[in-house]
């Protein structure tokens, strides 16, 4: 019986140690989440307004100017930018993003994939490892952006995509990332990055009348890359906040599960201890009775 008690005691110590780690990781993620949330909250209105402006300019040009990054052509070659995390222990965060990427390829670009014309640009170690190991064509230059998250590093990845699209190496570029809602909720999104999307026309949606200074061509050539850089940076910031939120939630649930397991183990320990005491008492009584006899 003492062996059983020792085993239960060891399990209790092990679960308590694990619980200390999960609580510490939750606190670290909560601190990082606050900073990441502030960054994406400040970026969103700016990025949204820039995106609206860009779509309106593209929609109102009517072919008057040359716009390589808004050129629509038959889609033969595709680049998919998938933003995952560098580390695990964040629930189903990474697996959901990878699942969405595979679903997008199957449902929208199956024909191109059959010809080997789909490439993946992973941002984040987890995505890079998965797509590399599973035989996808991978752009392996920008996966470590989260090791030193700065606008300039995201800009380099955006520039690669823009240059490749302008040179007709790809006919479409999509971004898959997690949009941050709150610590317990993220929305997994696949959205077009290139070509630049036009505003859908409707009866209530009149053509925007812009006055350009300098001329429209120069302005678009300057503005378009900068706005696209901002869009990708916003997606990466969203993903960064989502990762910390997902990890914080996962560690909170793990701590709760550890509590439940500890309760169960302590009940088992007490029962085993009581059984051992009862056995000892029985042996003592039996011994005393034998001596009296």
Q: Which pLDDT tens digit goes with each residue over 212-256?
A: 667 777 777 888 899 999 999 999 999 999 999 999 999 999 999
Q: What average pLDDT does the segment 92-110 reach? A: 96
What local confidence, expressed as pLDDT, does residue 61 receive? 64
Q: Is the pLDDT of residue 203 over 50?
A: no
Q: Which pLDDT tens digit goes with each residue over 128-156?
A: 999 999 999 999 999 999 999 999 999 99
Contacts for 192 with CB less than 8 Å, ≥ 6 apart: 172, 173, 174, 175
Which of 30-34, 66-70, 203-207, 271-275 is the most confident on average?
30-34
What local confidence, expressed as pLDDT, does residue 212 receive? 67
Q: What average pLDDT does the segment 164-190 reach? A: 94
User: If pLDDT is split at 50, 70 and 90, which confidence band does 63 have?
Assistant: low
pTM of the model: 0.84
What local confidence, expressed as pLDDT, does residue 115 receive? 95
Q: In whole angstroms, what is the distance from residue 278 CA to residue 221 CA?
A: 86
Q: Is the pLDDT of residue 202 over 60?
A: no
- Is the Cβ–Cβ distance between 112 and 75 less than 8 Å? yes
What local confidence, expressed as pLDDT, does residue 80 receive? 98
Q: In whole angstroms, what is the distance from residue 155 CA to residue 226 CA?
A: 9
Contacts for 285 with CB less than 8 Å, ≥ 6 apart: none
**Average pLDDT of every residue of the chain:** 89
- Is the Cβ–Cβ distance between 147 and 86 less than 8 Å? yes
Q: Is the pLDDT of residue 8 over 90?
A: no
Q: What average pLDDT does the segment 201-221 reach? A: 65
What local confidence, expressed as pLDDT, does residue 79 receive? 98
Before 214, cis peptide (omega within 30)?
yes
Active-site residues: which are they?
A: 90
Pick the CATH number of 21-251 from 3.40.50.12160, 3.40.630.30, 3.40.1380.10, 3.40.50.12780: 3.40.1380.10
Q: Which pLDDT tens digit goes with each residue over 259-272?
A: 999 999 999 888 88
What local confidence, expressed as pLDDT, does residue 195 receive? 92
Q: In whole angstroms, what is the distance from residue 183 CA to residue 197 CA?
A: 30
Q: Is the pLDDT of residue 208 over 60?
A: no
What local confidence, expressed as pLDDT, does residue 287 receive? 78
What local confidence, expressed as pLDDT, does residue 283 receive? 80
What percent of the chain lies above the pLDDT cut of 90?
65
What local confidence, expressed as pLDDT, does residue 222 receive? 83
* DSSP per residue, 64-129: SS--GGG-------EEEEEE--SS--STTHHHHHHHHHHHHHHHHSHHHHHTT-EEEEEESHHHHH
What local confidence, expressed as pLDDT, does residue 54 receive? 78
User: If pLDDT is split at 50, 70 and 90, which confidence band does 280 have?
Assistant: confident
Q: In whole angstroms, what is the distance from residue 216 CA to residue 132 CA?
A: 42
Q: What average pLDDT does the segment 3-8 reach? A: 82
- Is the Cβ–Cβ distance between 174 and 196 less than 8 Å? no
For residue 190, the SS3 value is strand
Domain ranges of the chain: 21-251
């Amino acid at each position: 019986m003492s062996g059983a008690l020792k085993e239960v005691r060891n399990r209790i110590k092990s679960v308590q140690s694990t619980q200390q780690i999960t609580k510490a990781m939750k606190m670290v993620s909560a601190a990082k989440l606050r900073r990441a949330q502030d960054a994406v909250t400040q970026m969103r209105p700016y990025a949204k307004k820039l995106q609206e402006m860009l779509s309106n300019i593209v929609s109102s040009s009517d072919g008057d100017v040359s716009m390589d990054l808004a050129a629509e052509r038959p889609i033969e070659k595709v680049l998919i930018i998938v933003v995952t995390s560098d580390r695990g222990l964040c629930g189903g965060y990474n697996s959901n993003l990878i699942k969405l990427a595979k679903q997008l390829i199957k449902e929208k670009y199956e024909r191109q994939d059959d010809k080997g014309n789909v490439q993946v640009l992973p941002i984040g170690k987890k995505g890079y490892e998965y797509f590399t190991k599973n035989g996808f064509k991978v752009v392996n230059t920008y996966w470590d952006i989260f090791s030193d998250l700065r606008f300039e590093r995201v800009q380099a990845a955006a520039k690669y995509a823009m240059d490749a699209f302008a040179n007709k190496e790809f006919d479409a570029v999509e971004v898959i990332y997690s949009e941050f809602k709150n610590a317990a909720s993220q929305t997994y999104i696949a959205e077009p990055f290139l070509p630049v999307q036009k505003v859908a026309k409707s009866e209530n949606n009149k053509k925007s009348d812009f006055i350009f200074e300098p001329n429209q061509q120069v302005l678009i050539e300057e503005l378009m890359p900068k706005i696209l850089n901002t869009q990708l940076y916003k997606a990466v910031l969203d993903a960064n906040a989502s990762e910390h939120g997902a990890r914080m939630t996962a560690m909170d649930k793990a701590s709760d599960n550890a509590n439940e397991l500890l309760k169960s183990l302590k009940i088992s320990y007490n029962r085993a201890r009581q059984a051992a005491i009862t056995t000892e008492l029985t042996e003592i009584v039996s011994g005393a009775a034998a001596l009296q006899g």
